[in-house]
Structure 1
Amino acid sequence: MSSTSLQTIGAIKAYHHQAQHLVNNYLLADPFIPYTSVLTGIFLSKVVYDLCHFISNSHSKTYIILTKIQQIEWNNRGISTVHAIFISAMSLYFVFWSDLFSDRWHNDLVVFRSSRLSSLGLGLSIGYFIADLGMIFWKYPSLGGLEYIVHHSLSGVAVAYSLFSGEGQLYTYMVLISEITTPEINLRWYLDTAGMKKSMAYVVNGVFIFLAWLVARILLFIYMFYHVYLHYNQVMRMHIFGYALVFGVPAALGVMNLIWFGKIVRGVKKTLAKRCEC
């Protein structure tokens, strides 16, 4: 092997070592995770937006005939779909599979547990909420009305408190599982925009929305409050602001979920009735 090749390999290894040092000692260091993860979440939201625009503009016949605001919403829903898949997977892992919040393997209080990975996930999610709120305000009310601002604001404040304080991360992830309904909601909009409202895919997706909403945004919220009840002696030891968030945010979001669920039920009934008439 030539000396030039050896020098090149040495330079690559040196850059790799420097990058690893930067990641381990700054980007993923405990004091910096809340800040770097939030900024990364904002940056990734921009990257996904641009990728959605590029891919859709090149491969979707529907996209190129949309109005400017429809294209923006198309890309915006792409961001929310990617975020929803990521954070719902993280949430399901921490709530049901990880030992981090298990009562069986830890003696310390569950409301004060956190890890680098759990904090990283919350920070990325905050970055998304900030980016999405910015787009909503920028194009208000085209990308969502007051209910979206309230939803994102409540969610963002609760997640941010949980990230920076380290309190109640389990309950934050329980609520974030509700994001599992977002891809179905976005697919409904995509099918409608593509003129496929009368297709079987639209009907099937509507049924999935109903089932996912019932489980993730109704039953799971009931389970969360039951878990709080069982661990109330621990919840009482949280800071008063965190204590209020544990009860206030899920309650407010739960009411909104019930209102939206009523609309979903009416929509499913209407769609199925039309299919039966045909």
Structure 2
Amino acid sequence: MIAMSSQTVMAIKSYQNQAEELVKNYLLADPFIPYTSILAGILVCKVAYDLVQLISAFNFKTYNGLTKIQRIEWNNRGISTVHAIFITAISLYFVFWSDLFSDQNIGGLVTFRSSPVSAFALGVSVGYFLADLGMIVWLYPSLGGIEYVVHHSLSGLAVAYSLFSGEGQLYTYMVLISEVTTPEINMRWYLDIAGMKRSNAYLINGVVIFFAWLVARVLLFVYMFYHVYLHYNQVIQMHAFGYLLVFVVPSVLAAMNLMWFGKILKGLKKTLAKRQ
């Protein structure tokens, strides 16, 4: 019995070592990272879609009463929520806690720093943008209008360039922090589709969206542009295309964020007025 247990332990360790070697030599090996990470992102989207569909069908009565396109959007929003939680956590870590992009780190210009982990996370995000954009275009305009196509196209392009070139990953992660607002936006849609627009949960959700949007999609962009200003001597050494992306993509997204923020503010005022 003891001998069998020892053999089992040795077998487990052997499989563990093989798995670690696979991750080290292939999944996180520099030449393969962009491709394996993008495929991983697309695969995660597929798994998340199926899980949301399965869980919702058995646990939410509202789900079974929806139309086909509403169920697709329900599942699709589940994907975006999973991606948002993942990439927000990774982005916060690299921007505020990791030494990789710290000014105290003397490992080269901040605009050219990257690591296997930072690259892999960006690849997963590219996989998400590709999968989600594909669904939006395929079912257009049921899952979103032209603004969603523009947003996903610009975001996917910028993240992909940062992934394959290794340039500007810090600024890419700064912009990706804005995904923190996605779960709240999705929750608002879920509450609406469940007929809970007059509930306290809907009101609280609106307030949370307002402050989250203000911090992550307005003030954080101001901080990003300020950081670019302080490190302009490093930014200007990027490839011309990367240099352009640092200014154009965040500027367009910032303009769209301000437009949406105006709508959020208007909606919140309307909701609060009804409560008085």
Whether these two folds match at TM > 0.5 is: yes
Structure-1-length-normalised TM-score: 0.96
Counterpart in the other structure of 1:165: 165
Q: How many residues align?
A: 276
Residue-by-residue CA offset, 1:163-215 (whole Å, 9 max, x unaligned): 11000000000000100110110000000000000001101100111111111
Counterpart in the other structure of 1:275: 275
Q: Distance in 2 between matches of 1:170 and 1:6?
A: 47
Say if 1:110 and 1:274 are closer, same or farther in 2 by CA, change over 3 A. Answer: same
Counterpart in the other structure of 1:152: 152
One-letter amino acid of the counterpart of residue 87, structure 1: I
Single out whichever of 184-193 and 137-146 deviates more from structure 2. 137-146
Single out whichever of 73-82 and 104-113 deviates more from structure 2. 104-113
Residue-by-residue CA offset, 1:51-108 (whole Å, 9 max, x unaligned): 0000000110111111111011000000101111111111111111111111013252
CA contact (8 A) 2:28 2:117 kept: no
One-letter amino acid of the counterpart of residue 216, structure 1: A
Query: 1:261 deviation in Å?
Result: 0.8
Query: 1:34 deviation in Å?
Result: 1.1
Counterpart in the other structure of 1:42: 42
Counterpart in the other structure of 1:131: 131
Counterpart in the other structure of 2:222: 222
Query: Equivalent residues in 2 for 1:128-277 (5 A)?
Result: 128-276=128-276
Query: 1:14 deviation in Å?
Result: 3.4
Q: Distance in 2 between matches of 1:212 and 1:12?
A: 45
Q: Distance in 1 between matches of 2:137 and 2:102?
A: 40
Residue-by-residue CA offset, 1:122-166 (whole Å, 9 max, x unaligned): 011111101101111121110011100000000000000001100
- Aligned-pair Cα RMSD in Å: 1.3
Structure-2-length-normalised TM-score: 0.96
One-letter amino acid of the counterpart of residue 214, structure 1: L
Counterpart in the other structure of 1:57: 57
Q: Residue 140 of structure 1 aligns to a residue in which SS?
A: coil
Q: Distance in 1 between matches of 2:13 and 2:103?
A: 43
Q: Distance in 2 between matches of 1:202 and 1:48?
A: 25
Q: Residue 61 of structure 2 aligns to a residue in which SS?
A: coil
Q: Distance in 2 between matches of 1:166 and 1:5?
A: 46
One-letter amino acid of the counterpart of residue 97, structure 2: W
One-letter amino acid of the counterpart of residue 54, structure 1: L
Name structure 2 gaps, 5 residues minimum. Answer: none
Q: Distance in 1 between matches of 2:78 and 2:267?
A: 23
Q: How much identity, in percent, do the aligned residues show?
A: 73
Q: Distance in 2 between matches of 1:172 and 1:73?
A: 27
Q: Residue 29 of structure 1 aligns to a residue in which SS?
A: coil
Counterpart in the other structure of 2:23: 23
One-letter amino acid of the counterpart of residue 112, structure 1: F
Say if 1:208 and 1:233 are closer, same or farther in 2 by CA, change over 3 A. Answer: same
One-letter amino acid of the counterpart of residue 128, structure 1: Y
Q: Distance in 1 between matches of 2:103 and 2:70?
A: 47
One-letter amino acid of the counterpart of residue 256, structure 1: M
